């Protein structure tokens, strides 16, 4: 009887990339995704240069960039009525020195299609994992499903997001760093006579903050609000909400009536946290299940993908050789801990120095750092590198099985 597969719970970027890399190495892997498809709106769309480079390393970048996307290599910010250029990625030493603004469902469908070219790749949609099974030695031995079925696993990888069911079932310790904000997601159509470039990626003013992500014929918008503040916004009514957005970002005013009711507005409860231990025998957590990131910088997808690559680099070859993965699991956290905590520290700094003063209406002048970045183009390379490549960047070292080459 053959060994059970590696089971990855969660078909987001972390789970799908990990599944692709394990299958590519000849490791039987089953990915469980609770939804019937990937068509969830209001998910992160920013595929940063560090992630694009990983696809380049396995020969898939050109194919990926045939998917619908917009390219962003320069970051602009509208702040207190002025427009400032604060970061550039054009100089980065990678094959694609830009952010690909790509709907996440297209990215995930692409990865799924590539995964299915390998016989050891099994993606099961509409399959919800609800808990874990354990053997007599308290090692995680598989997962339980909403259907009542149990699936045995050689290793379980929890990639089921910031509300991870599995990290709770595994009793992994969580450190909540706190977040002062929530985010409201909505879409605004682009008028036929306008270009998406007319609206800055980010706008901060005394009335609030809005991010407008270009998606071809519409902007995917995010308004930052005070943590727990959505009921008060609802109480003021949809007309007041539309007026606030249009006042803050006049370029969105022409399409603002597309928001007909609060049914067109989705609440994202922002979390910033991390597990202090990412594994136990038989289980490893990666991505948001291991460390929920703030939306600041749009880096969550890319940290999650880097986790997946690190996991495959450390575990794929030993698993393919039949080794016990348990002694290696802590090495994934060891490799990814410092990059995660450094990025979360930057996000907390942004919360304290930008978001909290903005929410209190205390931003009255443009910070010196923003003015310097706008005036001195060379300085823009620093935030561009941090946003584009992050910290502790991984490269694909997991093998390609000889039978597939």
Q: What is the pLDDT of residue 195?
A: 66
Residue 123, pLDDT score: 97
What pLDDT sits at residue 223? 93
Return the HEC string of the chain.
CCCCCEEEECCCHHHHHHHHHHHHCCCCEEEECCCCCCCCCCCCCEECHHHHHHHHHCCCHHHHCCCCCEEECEEEEEECCEEEEEEECCCCCCCCCCEEECCHHHHHHHHHHHHCCCCCEEEECCCCEEEEEECCCCCEEEEEECCCCEEECCEEEECCCCCCHHHHHCCCCEEECCCCEEEEEEEEECCCCCCHHHCCCEEEECCEEEEEEECCCEEEEEEEEECCCHHHHHHHCHHHHHHHHHHHCHHHHHHHHHCCCHHHCEEECCCCEEECCCEECCEEECHHHCCCCCCHHHCHHHHHHHHHHHHHHHHHHHHHCCCCCHHHHHHHHHHHHHHHHHHHHHHHHHHHHHHHHHHCCCCCCCCHHHHHHHHCHHHHHHHHHHHHHCCCCCCCCCCCCHHHC
Question: Would you call 217 exposed, middle or buried from its count of C-beta atoms within 10 A (0-12, 13-18, 19+)?
Answer: exposed
User: What is the predicted pLDDT for the residue at 39?
Assistant: 72
Task: With beta carbons less than 8 A apart as the criterion, state whether 30 and 120 touch.
Answer: no
Cα 366-372-376 angle, rounded to 5 deg: 145
How many whole angstroms separate alpha carbon 308 and alpha carbon 311?
A: 5
Cα separations in angstroms, 80 against 203, 205, 245, 249, 362: 8, 5, 15, 11, 12
Burial of 230 (0-12, 13-18, 19+ CB in 10 A): middle
Rounded CA-CA distance 24/115 in Å is: 8
Total number of residues shown for the chain: 405
pLDDT at residue 404 in the model? 57
**What pLDDT score does 43 carry?**
60
CA of 18: how far to CAs of 9, 144, 170, 339, in Å? 11, 21, 20, 18
Architecture of domain 6-45+103-176+271-356: 3-Layer(bba) Sandwich (3.50)
What does the block give as tokens for 82? 């002025």
Distance between CA atoms of 306 and 325, rounded to whole angstroms? 19
- Please measure the distance between the N-terminal and C-terminal CA atoms of the chain and give it in whole angstroms: 26
Question: What's the predicted TM-score (pTM) here?
Answer: 0.92
What is the reported pLDDT for 403?
67
- For the chain, which ranges sit under pLDDT 50? 1
């Amino acid at each position: 009887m053959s060994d059970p597969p590696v089971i990855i719970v969660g078909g987001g970027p972390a789970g799908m990339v990990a599944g692709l890399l394990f299958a590519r190495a000849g490791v039987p892997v089953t990915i469980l995704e609770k939804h019937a498809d990937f068509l969830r709106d209001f998910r992160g769309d920013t595929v940063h240069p560090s992630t694009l480079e990983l696809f380049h390393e396995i020969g898939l970048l050109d194919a990926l960039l045939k998917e619908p996307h917009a390219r962003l290599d320069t970051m602009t910010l509208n702040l207190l009525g002025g427009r400032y250029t604060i970061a550039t990625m054009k100089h980065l030493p990678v094959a694609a020195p830009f952010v690909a603004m790509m709907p996440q469902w297209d990215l995930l469908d692409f990865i799924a299609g590539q995964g299915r070219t390998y016989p050891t790749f099994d993606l099961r949609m509409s399959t919800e994992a609800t808990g874990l099974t354990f053997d007599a030695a308290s090692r995680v031995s598989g997962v339980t499903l909403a259907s009542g079925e149990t699936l045995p696993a050689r290793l379980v990888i929890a990639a089921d997001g910031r509300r991870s069911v599995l990290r709770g079932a595994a009793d992994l310790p969580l450190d909540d760093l706190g977040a002062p904000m929530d985010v409201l997601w909505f879409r605004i159509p682009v008028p036929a006579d306008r270009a998406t470039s007319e609206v800055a990626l980010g706008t901060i003013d005394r009335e609030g903050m809005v991010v407008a992500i270009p998606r071809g014929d519409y902007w995917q918008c995010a308004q930052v609000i005070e943590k727990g503040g959505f009921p008060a916004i609802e109480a003021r009514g949809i007309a007041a909400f539309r007026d606030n957005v249009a006042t803050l970002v006049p370029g969105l005013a022409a399409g603002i009536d597309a928001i007909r009711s609060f049914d067109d507005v989705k609440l994202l409860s922002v979390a910033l946290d991390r597990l202090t231990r990412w594994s136990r025998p038989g289980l490893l957590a990666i991505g948001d299940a291991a460390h929920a990131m703030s939306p600041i910088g749009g880096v969550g997808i890319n940290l999650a993908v880097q986790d997946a690559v690190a996991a495959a680099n450390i575990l794929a070859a030993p698993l393919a050789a039949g080794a016990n993965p348990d002694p290696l699991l802590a090495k994934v956290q060891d490799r990814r801990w410092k990059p995660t905590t450094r990025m979360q520290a930057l996000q907390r700094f942004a919360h304290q120095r930008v978001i909290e003063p903005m929410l209190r209406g205390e931003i009255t002048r443009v910070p010196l750092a923003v003015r310097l970045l706008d005036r001195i183009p060379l300085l823009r390379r620093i935030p561009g590198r941090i946003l584009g490549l992050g910290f502790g960047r991984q490269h694909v070292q997991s093998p390609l099985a000889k039978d597939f080459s």
